[in-house]
A and B are shown apart, each in its own frame.
Chain A
Amino acid sequence: MILPRTRFPAGIAIALVLLLVLVAWSFTVGRFAVATGDVIRVLWASLFGEESGLARNVDAIVLQVRAPRVAAALCVGAALAAAGAAYQNLFRNPLVSPDILGVSAGCALGAGLAVLASLPIEAIQAFAFVGGLIAVGLVVAIGTWIGGRDPILTLVLTGVVVGSLFGAGIALVKYVADPYNQLPAITFWLLGSFTGALPRDLPATLLPIALSVAALWLLRWRIDVLALSEDEAVSLGIDAKRLRIAIIVAATLSTASAVSLAGTIGWIGLLVPHAARMLTGAAFARLLPLSIVLGAGFMLAVDTACRTMFATEIPPGVVTAFVGTPVFIVLLAVAFRRSQ
């Protein structure tokens, strides 16, 4: 099942083409019926700064609703999958997800506090982002301070502890929130959704994600060496501690921006890198791009289903879990039976 290295360029090209088809399809479906030709006209006109000549709400649907939503889903999926892939290699554990160091819990607490203070949406997103960074910063600081022979284990344990502390903080915020207004807002935020994704949200999300993915790409060979064993990395002249911090910073930046835009969406960061590894092996130079493409595609497919099936939205986190669980079980069965 694993793609030979020489076939990888062809494989990733096919995946990219499929992703493009998915993007095109996602643009043409929605609750508000817009003919495919009209979608193309609107996009064409906006590319060249012309007037599409169509009704205002058609323009708005394509450019202000669908385009940012498609872009947001692609970015979030890519960011979570990239962070998951990096963490799974860093922690040498295929069952690690991007929120292992408490980033989601930190984001959720930040967002909850902002809702409690009745702040506007931009502030809620900013609070979420900063909350995620604070949580991971705490984990790294405490983990470094504790030290120990196995720094990876120390980090993971500290992540669990700090994550549950922030979880208790979220519970407290929900408890003191006004049950008629703030509590539903917090609950909806925690469930996650792309429904409010607007063009103005994209730069603040895209930039950190692009930066962290670029950083991970530049570190791809070193990540492979680090995944072998720390001693080997040191003997090759790699500063394991610094590299670890760099990976954590990159993965945290991308996850925090994803979560602050779309809320906590599980499974992508765990499932997608795992599936990608089965397809192409653990070499990070191939695992990262394939994870990104698969993650973006999976997230977009899920969100397109979420916004088209009913008049009301379905939380994407629920769909990823419903789809992700059986897929994950099948993948596990395939992998384990093959290895026997």
Chain B
Amino acid sequence: MKSVRFVAVLLAVLALASPALAAREFTDDAGRKVTLPDRIERVYAAGPPASVLVLALAPDKLIGWTRHFRDDESQWVPKKYAELPELGRLTGRGSTANVEVVLKEKPDVIVDVGSTRETYASLADRVQSQTGIPYVLLDGHLETTPAQLEKLASVLGVPERGKELSAYASRIMGELRDGIAAIPMDKRPTIYYARGPQGLQTGLGGSINVEAIELLGAKNVAGGERGGLTNVGLEQVVLWDPEVIVTNDPNFYRDVWKLPVWNSVSAVRSKRVYLSPHLPFGWFDFPPGANRLIGLIWLSDILYPGTFHHDLKREVARFYKLFYQQEPTAAQVDSLLAEPGVSPR
């Protein structure tokens, strides 16, 4: 991993140092060697995690989104970016993009961030040979966010911006890790991630949906088994008896206080159920991209009250300015944090 990063940085430096070099080679996280044009001005992000990264690093190079911004989402990014066209997504999980439409936009590079397994590597190879456009595939795990930022910045030719954002991400994750390392295991709460309208879908250990929990050292009650998303029974949740519940579904958040059976779960009795904000991108789970960084700060205060003393409003304003290119107004931040379930009771 380190050597890949080193090579990437080296290549970026080389590319900058010698503008005469017409093309440069980049080894992506799937181990694919991709020849990139010297200057990259137009980027097609193949999935939402890649869109988030490009928006943060070089928004003017972004040629479109995988789907249109909805009205409530578009007020969080500058208008000219929110109004970019919808081009569809090209990831393995159900592509909606029409390759001809993508080609018509003449991207210099296609970027995807997520799984680097064989399925996705072969998909990248196929699209690249079909379109003749270099396709870069980067690992999308939460803990590699700083590396993603630097690597993608070197691809896009904005290494300075990459360093700035990568340093920010490293600092946040480092501070959280250091703070949490000092917390004894028995002070770390058990947490259940409730998805779906009934809150009965959850992420097993190692699933991309619960990376924030694992990174913050809390105990995912469903982490005993490894896998992806799954259905669980109410009885099992009562048995797990989590101390904290995090959900992304406002309907479930509303219901959880009303249903008698949830009332026998510790998290509900002690009012430690939280709803993750989702504007313009989710804070906790989806898309599984750099957007989750602000969620880490939010969740760390929920899991370990009184440990970090974050000024959440300031952190939100800062993160949004850095990654979404527009500092939200105080009223916007207030509205985000005032949604029921977002702020600790």
Q: Is the CB of B94 within 8 A of A175?
A: yes
B23 is an interface residue with CB less than 8 A from chain A? no
Q: Is the CB of A120 within 8 A of B235?
A: no
Interface set of A (CB-CB < 8 Å, partner B) = 30-32, 56-57, 59-61, 64-66, 115, 118-121, 124, 174-176, 178-181, 183-185, 188, 191, 193, 195-196, 198, 307, 310-313, 315
Q: Is the CB of A193 within 8 A of B231?
A: yes
Which of B128-136, B161-169, B222-230, B336-344 lies at the interface? B222-230
Q: Is the CB of B235 within 8 A of A32?
A: yes
Write out the residue numbers on chain A whose beta carbons fall within 8 Å of the beta carbon of B264: 56-57, 59-61
Write out the residue numbers on chain A whose beta carbons fall within 8 Å of the beta carbon of B94: 174-175, 179, 183
Option from B89, B225, B248 in Cβ contact (under 8 Å) with A312: B225
Write out the residue numbers on chain B whose beta carbons fall within 8 Å of the beta carbon of A198: 259, 261
Among residues of B, the one whose C-beta sits closest to the C-beta of A313 is B231
Option from A66, A118, A179 in Cβ contact (under 8 Å) with B93: A179
- Provide a sorted-by-A list of 10 A–B residue pairs whose CB atoms are within 8 angstroms: A32-B236, A115-B197, A118-B250, A120-B197, A181-B195, A181-B248, A185-B197, A195-B231, A195-B232, A311-B224
B260 is an interface residue with CB less than 8 A from chain A? yes
Option from B67, B233, B263 in Cβ contact (under 8 Å) with A65: B233
B59 is an interface residue with CB less than 8 A from chain A? no
Given contacts A31-B233, A193-B231, A313-B232, contact A65 B198 (CB under 8 A): no
Question: In the complex, what's the smallest C-beta–C-beta distance from B24 to chain A, in angstroms?
Answer: 32
Question: In the complex, what's the smallest C-beta–C-beta distance from A198 to chain B, in angstroms?
Answer: 7
Q: Mark B226-251, 1 if CB is under 8 A from A, else 0.
A: 00011111111011010000001011
Among residues of B, the one whose C-beta sits closest to the C-beta of A310 is B225
Q: Is the CB of B260 within 8 A of A124?
A: no
Question: In the complex, what's the smallest C-beta–C-beta distance from A62 to chain B, in angstroms?
Answer: 10
Write out the residue numbers on chain B whose beta carbons fall within 8 Å of the beta carbon of A310: 225
Write out the residue numbers on chain A whose beta carbons fall within 8 Å of the beta carbon of B241: 57
Q: Mark B189-229, 1 if CB is under 8 A from A, else 0.
A: 00000011110110010000000000000000010110001
B287 is an interface residue with CB less than 8 A from chain A? yes
DSSP majority for the B interface? loop
A61 to B232, CA, bound (A): 14
A193 to B230, CA, bound (A): 12
Q: Is the CB of B235 within 8 A of A311?
A: no
B254 is an interface residue with CB less than 8 A from chain A? yes
Write out the residue numbers on chain B whose beta carbons fall within 8 Å of the beta carbon of A313: 230-233, 236
Write out the residue numbers on chain A whose beta carbons fall within 8 Å of the beta carbon of B200: 193, 195-196
Which residues in chain B, 66-85, are within 8 Å of chain A measured between CB atoms?
A: 67
B285 is an interface residue with CB less than 8 A from chain A? yes
Q: Is the CB of A65 within 8 A of B261?
A: yes
Given contacts A31-B233, A115-B197, A175-B94, contact A180 B48 (CB under 8 A): yes
Q: Is the CB of B236 within 8 A of A31?
A: yes
Write out the residue numbers on chain B whose beta carbons fall within 8 Å of the beta carbon of A121: 197-198, 251, 255
Q: Is the CB of B231 within 8 A of A180?
A: no
A61 to B285, CA, bound (A): 29
Q: Is the CB of A30 within 8 A of B197?
A: no
Q: Is the CB of A65 within 8 A of B238?
A: yes
Write out the residue numbers on chain B whose beta carbons fall within 8 Å of the beta carbon of A65: 233-235, 238, 261
A-B pair number, CB within 8 angstroms: 119
A72 to B197, CA, bound (A): 19
Q: Is the CB of A195 within 8 A of B222?
A: no
Interface set of B (CB-CB < 8 Å, partner A) = 48, 67, 89, 91, 93-94, 96, 195-198, 200-201, 204, 222, 224-225, 229-236, 238-239, 241, 248, 250-251, 254-255, 259-261, 263-265, 282, 285-288
Given contacts A31-B239, A175-B94, A312-B231, contact A188 B196 (CB under 8 A): yes
A120 to B229, CA, bound (A): 20
Among residues of A, the one whose C-beta sits closest to the C-beta of B201 is A188
A292 to B91, CA, bound (A): 46
A193 to B200, CA, bound (A): 10
Question: In the complex, what's the smallest C-beta–C-beta distance from B310 to chain A, in angstroms?
Answer: 26
Given contacts A65-B234, A179-B93, contact A120 B255 (CB under 8 A): yes
Q: Is the CB of B260 within 8 A of A307?
A: no
Q: Is the CB of B89 within 8 A of A179?
A: yes
Write out the residue numbers on chain B whose beta carbons fall within 8 Å of the beta carbon of A188: 196, 201, 229, 231
A56 to B261, CA, bound (A): 9
Q: Other than A57-B238, A64-B260, A183-B94, give 15 A-B pairs with Cβ distance below 8 A.
A: A31-B239, A56-B263, A60-B238, A60-B260, A64-B234, A65-B238, A115-B197, A120-B255, A176-B96, A179-B93, A185-B196, A188-B231, A195-B234, A311-B236, A312-B230
A59 to B263, CA, bound (A): 11
Write out the residue numbers on chain A whose beta carbons fall within 8 Å of the beta carbon of B225: 310-312
Option from A124, A180, A195 in Cβ contact (under 8 Å) with B233: A195
Given contacts A31-B239, A185-B201, contact A120 B254 (CB under 8 A): yes
Write out the residue numbers on chain B whose beta carbons fall within 8 Å of the beta carbon of A180: 48, 282, 285-288
Q: Which of B67, B225, B248, B251: most chain A Cβ within 10 A?
A: B251
Q: Is the CB of B198 within 8 A of A196?
A: yes
Q: Which of A188, A310, A312: most chain B Cβ within 10 A?
A: A312
Question: In the complex, what's the smallest C-beta–C-beta distance from A81 to chain B, in angstroms?
Answer: 24
Question: In the complex, what's the smallest C-beta–C-beta distance from A290 to chain B, in angstroms?
Answer: 30
A30 to B200, CA, bound (A): 16
Write out the residue numbers on chain A whose beta carbons fall within 8 Å of the beta carbon of B251: 118-121
